Amino acid sequence: MVAPILKEPDPLLHRKALTVPKITSEIEGLIETMIETMHAAQGVGLAANQIGSPLNILVASPNGERGGEIVLVNASLTRGRGRAKSPEGCLSLPGISSEVSRPGSVSASGLDRRGNPLTLEAEGLLAKILQHEVDHLEGHLFLHRLGFWNRRRLLRKYEALSNSLRQIKL
Ligand SMILES: [Zn+2]
């Protein structure tokens, strides 16, 4: 199943995710929906609140290949090293993107989709995806990583774009 992706300024995008107490069949179904939705949107990562669930779950697919997705439940970043700056966009902020500076490598831990402990040592694109999605689970968008003026410029562009799309839909 493919779910609609929530767009800024949906309030769920600004809420901190809740811990998943147990992997149930509902959670497994939600994970499948997240994976399907990520691929359908041609995204490389998705956080559960982007499809309306308040739970701490992220999925990632750095190479975009079906079957090779990374699932992390109750995700937390345990450390970051170095610095990498590269362009970033977001499925919840269609139409805008910016260079974002983040640690170049991270260690992320949580549970896999069966409930087993999982720690990922990541660098490059996966490190960036994990940080972007954990930001979502903290209730933050990539805009929060930008300076005041850049963030304001991009938000204005985004608002203008979403207003024009709304008019077309009328
Ligand atoms: Zn995003």
Centre of ligand 1 from the C-alpha of residue 91, in Å: 5
Listed by start position, the domains of the chain span 11-169
Centre of ligand 1 from the C-alpha of residue 114, in Å: 25
- Model pLDDT, residue 170: 58
CA dist 153 and 141 (Å) reads 15
Centre of ligand 1 from the C-alpha of residue 46, in Å: 7
The answer to whether 75 touches 108, Cβ cutoff 8 Å, is yes
Say how many Å lie between the first and final Cα of the chain, rounded. Answer: 27
- Model pLDDT, residue 166: 75
The second-level CATH assignment, the architecture, of 11-169 is Alpha-Beta Complex (3.90)
Mean of pLDDT values over 31-49:
98
Per-residue confidence band for 32, with pLDDT thresholds at 50, 70 and 90: very high
pLDDT in tens, 144-160: 999 999 999 999 999 99
Catalytic residues: 133
Question: pTM of the predicted model, to two decimals?
Answer: 0.95
Cis peptide before 9 (omega within 30 of 0): yes
- Model pLDDT, residue 168: 72
